[in-house]
Amino acid sequence: MARCRNLTLVLMVLGIFATEAAAWHGRGHDLATRVALAALRNDVPAFFVAGTDTIAHCSLDADAFTRPIAPAELHDQEAPEHYFDMELLGGSPVPANRYAFIDFCAAKGLKPNKIGLLPYAVVEWTQRLTVAFAEHRRWPENPAIRAKCLVYAGLLAHYAEDLTQPLHLTIHWDGRARADGNSPRSGIHNKVDALLGKLPVDPGSVAKGWPIKPLGELLPAALAEIAQGRTLIDHVYELEAQLPGMDEPLDASGKAADFARERLDAAGKFLASLYLTAWLDSQKITLPPWYRQGTLAGQLSQDANAPAGKVLYRSQSLQKTNSP
């Protein structure tokens, strides 16, 4: 009996942790990612669209980097990548990059992990994909580079989709925050996260005819999307009584379903624009001569004629010699 009680306690704790980590839940991320890729069939490389299953699979991975799956150190680093509580900035402009944000928080006596780092995650993963696309342009037949593009795209998908969930953008993330700033853990967050996965829609039909355009500067684009999402926070709470439980079906004719469809469109369009931006921006990247890809055998062959005593450091834009 004692063991049963202990097991029940463990399951309850894991349930709380899962609530903290989840965002749009697995099927919602999968669906939104497929919608974005369906909108880009003629605008990005064929291998990228052909890799839809892999990208959609990887779009769930960022939640695995938080508890209860991830070790404590990884969770502590990863969890703030999934939210951005704008209210805690007190109306100050959002700093231009991650470390400027950390400096800003230090100067104001704020905790970066309390506010969250979601817009920076979106910008940085878009830029990682941009670099991978630049490699693909240089070595289009390299399977390792293609695989890397798909994985990066999946991780970017997760953060971009989190950014379109209004309860990831506020201190009122799971019930209206108390006076001390803490969440009452009402359960509304989990209900909203489950909505997209309950929509019985075909990704291609959802995205049909969408005019996807590249974005300008990434951080302002992410902040504009955040601003739009934050206008829906009150609406989410107005819908609270109509939100189905985690295991309950969604009434396709209700207001909650209308909200879910609107957010699926927002997530798909935003992600598709990020993917297109990464692809087009990759044309602007010039890979320097020291940056080489390929098999180790190929590397050794290329270096066979290098002067004796010369050591090539490919992980940096440096070449050093061990001679005086």
Q: pLDDT tens across 10-48, in order?
A: 334 334 444 444 567 789 999 999 999 999 998 999 999
Q: pLDDT tens across 60-101, in order?
A: 999 999 999 999 999 999 999 999 999 999 999 999 999 999
Whole-structure pTM value: 0.85
Within 8 A by CB and 6+ apart from 235, the residues are 166, 259
Structure tokens at 181: 């700033």
Q: pLDDT tens across 230-240, in order?
A: 999 999 999 99
Is the pLDDT score of 309 beyond 70?
no
Give phi and psi for 183, each to the nearest 5: -85, 140
How far apart (Å, rounded) are the C-alpha atoms in residues 22 and 196?
A: 13
Q: What is the pLDDT of residue 23?
A: 66
Residue 301: pLDDT band with limits 50, 70, 90: very low
| 211 closest CA partner among 44, 49, 46, 40 | 40
Give Cα 4 distance to the centre of its chain: 38
Give phi and psi for 181, each to the nearest 5: 90, -10
How far apart (Å, rounded) are the C-alpha atoms in residues 181 and 179?
A: 5
Q: What is the pLDDT of residue 192?
A: 97
How far apart (Å, rounded) are the C-alpha atoms in residues 197 and 31?
A: 7
Structure tokens at 215: 């974005």
Q: pLDDT tens across 153-203, in order?
A: 999 999 999 999 999 999 999 999 999 889 999 999 999 999 999 999 999
User: Of all residues in the chain, what percent carry a pLDDT higher than 70?
Assistant: 83
Q: pLDDT tens across 265-286, in order?
A: 999 999 999 999 999 999 999 9
Give phi and psi for 164, each to the nearest 5: -95, 5
Structural domains of the chain, with CATH:
13-287 (1.10.575), 290-324 (no CATH)
Is the pLDDT score of 242 beyond 70?
yes
User: Of all residues in the chain, what percent carry a pLDDT higher than 90?
Assistant: 79
228, 86 Cβ separation under 8 angstroms: no
How far apart (Å, rounded) are the C-alpha atoms in residues 16 and 277?
A: 37
Is the pLDDT score of 304 beyond 80?
no
| 163 closest CA partner among 248, 307, 267 | 267
CB atoms closer than 10 angstroms to residue 14: 13
Give phi and psi for 174, each to the nearest 5: -145, 70
Angle at the Cα of 30 from the Cα atoms of 29 and 33, rounded to 5 degrees: 80
